[in-house]
Structure 1
Amino acid sequence: MSFYKFARSVVKLWLKSKYKVITVGTEHIPKTGPVIICSNHISNFDPPVVGITCPREIHFMAKEELFNNKMLAFILKHVHAFPIKRGMKDRNALRKGLEVLKDGNVLGLFPEGTRSKTGELKKGLAGAGFFALRSKATIIPCAIIGDYRGKDPLKVSYGPPIDMEGLRSEKASAQEVTDVIMEHIKKIKENY
């Protein structure tokens, strides 16, 4: 068993029991090929929650500071996370993200960049649109609904793929594509 699968099963056991995680819409996630999962961001627990609910292994970007701790850096690298410098254009992280997709893997993104302390969706950053336009990945919107207080179940809902053909033919900007992705996340949240 790989380290990823072992860590996933341990984290899944803990998170599902603590937060009563309910997952819907995983049938929308292609079984093979490059995929970008774009989710809202309400907690530090969001990456592991998306990681345990997605049927495929996910590669996440994580803020560079987390890799300063040697033990945490070891774990992050073995669960496919890679560092990104926040507040600036990080060419290495962009290159690594495109490489993940080129290899036919799943890239997990939180377009808002940082957590929303109110739970309300914030404006997404252009990075999600950049990856969507620069790759042939299927874009799957995802919404984490609820909170991490543990009273009510936490729902993770995956929506159908976002049609990128029109956006590509219209030569939409990265920000415009991100705005469309955020609208899809918003609709999923509103439906639950």
Structure 2
Amino acid sequence: MSEHTQPPRTDHTPHPPRLMLEGLRPLARRLLRRRYDVLVHGAEHVPTSGPVILAANHVGVIDGPLLAIFAPRPVHALTKIEMFRGRLGRFLHYSGQIPLDRFVYDPGAVRQGLRVLRDGGAVGIFPEGHRGAGELERFHRGAAYFALVTGAPVVPVILIGTREPGGHTGSLPRKGARIELVFGPPFTLEQTAWPRRRGDVESASLQLRDRMLDDLREALVTTGRSLPGPLPPGEQEPDPSGGVTGTTT
């Protein structure tokens, strides 16, 4: 039986567009490096083929584009549906990003992510669910769920410098700022057949969070950097439900 016919079925789910995602990455890297000092560490940890989940902390507005552009492989990132409006929305769609409604169960986004993985591609996800301090205080189940369904390894990604201390939710780093992407060794969860119990997904999520916290601490030590701290008062984004750790206020 094809992986696409296993629950949740993805045999009737189209793969997100790939042409712009693959074709524009070299140009986008050159343009971004003209503005920022972008350093990539640990790229060798990303498997060169086969399904992979890139799970990243979420600090600034450019985290998604940076992940899609500078990861060793093209990445289809789960992106909040609010971004899919107007010209930006059309660009995100044709560059292969996956719209996600964070406040309800979104079977369409789940199936698109699974379609990418079952086709041997790379999916990007931000387990915190929104921008913030990037310290993984809030952690959601999506990355672990994808790993349990597909058996794909999870590569932790620590983003540093994408928002400056005191920076607003939509602010960009100053010109010339150093931005670092630190890829950690893959973390593998055993593939689990349907039905997958909520408790199993929660336990796997906590294991993944512990691993990412270790990688976060190591990345900050090895780079000599720090995270920017929380967003200014009143700018905290709404917190999606469904996390496996305590809520933020």
Q: TM-score range by the shorter chain?
A: 0.7 to 0.9
Distance apart, 1:177 and its partner CA: 1.7
1:190 alignment partner, one of 197, 206, 217: 217
SS at match of 1:173: helix
Equivalent residues in 2 for 1:16-165, closer than 5 Å: 16-69=33-86, 71-116=87-132, 118-148=133-163, 149-150=173-174, 153-165=178-190
Q: Is the CA contact (8 Å cut-off) linking 1:40 and 1:144 kept in structure 2?
A: yes
Which is bigger in relative contact order (C-alpha 8 A, separation at least 6)? 1
Quote the offset at 1:77 in angstroms: 1.6
Share of identical aligned residues, percent? 31
Structure (1 or 2) with the greater helix fraction: 1
Question: Structure 2 CA distance, aligned partners of 1:127 and 1:89?
Answer: 11
Give the letter aligned to residue 85 of structure 1.
D
Show CA shifts across 1:16-36 (max 9, x none): 232311101111111110000
After TM superposition, the structure 1 stretch with the greater mean CA deviation from structure 2, 174-183 or 47-56, is 174-183
**Could you tell me how far apart the structure 1 residues matched to 2:146 and 2:178 are?**
32
The aligned counterpart of 1:178 is 205
Decide which moves more: 76-85 or 106-115. Answer: 76-85
SS at 1:93 equivalent: helix
The Cα shift of 1:42 comes to: 0.4
Q: Larger C-alpha radius of gyration, 1 or 2?
A: 2
1:65-88 superposed Cα distances (whole Å, 9 cap, x missing partner): 22231x222211221112111211
- What is the aligned residue count? 187
SS at match of 1:56: coil
Q: Please name the residue that 1:11 is paired with.
A: 28
Could you tell me which amino acid in structure 1 is paired with residue 185 of structure 2?
A: P
1:129, 1:173 within 8 Å by CA — same for their partners in 2?
no
**What per-residue deviation string (whole Å, max 9, x for no partner) do you get for residues 86-136 of structure 1?**
2111111111111111111000000111011x3432221111111111112
Question: C-alpha separation between the residues in 2 aligned to 1:185 and 1:17?
Answer: 30
Alpha-carbon distance in structure 1 between the residues aligned to 2:59 and 2:31: 19
Paired residues of 2:53 and 2:125 also in contact (CA < 8 A): yes
Q: 1:19 to 1:119 in 2, by over 3 A?
A: farther
Partner Cα distance (1:5, 1:135) in 2 = 23
Q: RMSD value over aligned CA atoms?
A: 2.2
Q: Which runs of 4+ in 1 moved over 4 A?
A: none
Contact 1:145 1:189 in 2 (8 A): no
